[in-house]
Structure 1
Amino acid sequence: MHVDEWLQTIPSVWVYLAVGVVIGLESLGIPLPGEIVLVSAALLAAKGVVSPLTVGIFASAGAIIGDSIGYLIGRKGGQPLFDRLGRRFPKHFGPAHIAKAEQFFGRWGMWAVFFGRFVALLRILAGPLAGALRMPYWRFLIANVLGGALWAGGTTTAIYYLGRAADKWLKNFSWAGLGVAVVFGLATTLWMKRKAAKAAEQEEAAESAEPVSAG
């Protein structure tokens, strides 16, 4: 059973709660399919099953609250927390993943929290890593609120209107909307990865040039 089929079997209020809880748990550092649940709920909104506004509100709340809890966990647990997570979830919290995320944070600061909302890996790591790196909470909160609201509200709005438009032309429009959403998500992720890779290359070049200039 697909996620959207599962969501259709439960009352509207539980759909909203499922969206908020799954996205919240993903945001605090648990690898769950938050984006898939959000897209599925937005498609249900396009069908008239649930309210798109309420879906967006619950998704935003889950993202913001989850990230904040993740921040507190990371601030309290520090590096030992990531060591334990790396042993338990090597595919998501392995040393290479943490190193890339730390490099991205070191380069972009609070913008890493904002843009991290749009990248699957950073969406899981942003809160705990910001806390572990002792980012001031007020800076984290600003980026967290803006990024969470833009990601949740923007995704819900885009998928909702895509679904409504496709409903006029396609019988099986949910697959078309989901396909567009997947393509959009992949394109966004690739763009962010390229930006992060370019930033990392520039930083490495700057570091390697320092001894030469010093000499």
Structure 2
Amino acid sequence: MVVEHWLAGVPPLSAYAVVAGVVGLESLGIPLPGELVLVSAALLAARYHGLSPVWVAAGAGTGAIVGDSLGYAIGRTGGRRVLDRLARRFPGHLGAHRLRRTERLVATRGALAVFGGRFVALLRMLAGPLAGALRMPYPTFLAANVLGGLVWAAGTTALVYYLGVVVEAWLSRLSWFALAAVAGVAVAVLVARRTRRNRREPPGDA
């Protein structure tokens, strides 16, 4: 995975900062692969002991909460015109029809949309700005934002990390089995050749 390979080349503190930054910018409404970066960092933590899954989750959770809160402030200050500008700038990700559909969801579901939006790509980008533009009470938004951000960051990191550890252990055992199988085949081939050679040689003098 390209992102995982790139993260492996930077110091751990920089990796945590990258996770927080990308997730935070995505939460502002910018179409960046926040979840992909989080998954890549969690997989890397499962393979590279210098990277802590706890700090990966902390970085993602911080980025999610801060990014959504800034998005809320931008939406509340700039209103719908900010979202329309984003839709024009990124039509492939934030087309007008997607924006209207997401706006209706946030308007009808409120805090539930903010919490659940953390697990859905489009809502992850738009929940904060839309909640601000629709004048959702900030305490309600903040509670849903913090809870959703923490559950998403910790849950995704834990799931990917432990799956990565299990797969890594399974692959390491598989490599030993493969090595033993290759060694067994090599010995069998040598024994077969020796037996065939002995059959072809004439018997020695008594």
Identity of aligned residues (%): 59
State how far apart, in whole Å, the 1-side matches of 2:128 and 2:51 are: 29
User: Structure 1 length as normaliser, TM-score?
Assistant: 0.77
Q: How does 1:55-74 map to 2 (within 5 A)?
A: 55-74=56-75
State how far apart, in whole Å, the 2-side matches of 1:32 and 1:85 are: 13
Amino acid at match of 2:62: A
Task: Name the count of aligned residue pairs.
Answer: 172
Say if 2:25 is the partner of 1:25: yes
2:109 paired residue number: 108
2:181 paired residue number: none
* C-alpha deviation, 1:86, in angstroms: 1.8
Amino acid at match of 2:90: F
1:128 paired residue number: 129
User: Structure 2 length as normaliser, TM-score?
Assistant: 0.81
Unpaired runs of at least 5, structure 1: 174-215
- Write the deviation string for residues 100-143 of structure 1: whole angstroms up to 9, x where unpaired: 11121122111000000000000000010000000000000000
2:100 paired residue number: 99
State how far apart, in whole Å, the 2-side matches of 1:131 and 1:34 are: 21
Q: How does 1:40-79 map to 2 (within 5 A)?
A: 40-47=40-47, 48-79=49-80
State how far apart, in whole Å, the 2-side matches of 1:84 and 1:113 are: 21
State how far apart, in whole Å, the 2-side matches of 1:141 and 1:45 are: 29
State how far apart, in whole Å, the 1-side matches of 2:84 and 2:163 are: 42
Q: Which structure 1 residue ranges, 4+ long, deviate > 6 Å from structure 2?
A: none
CA RMSD of aligned residues (A): 1.3
1:158 paired residue number: 159
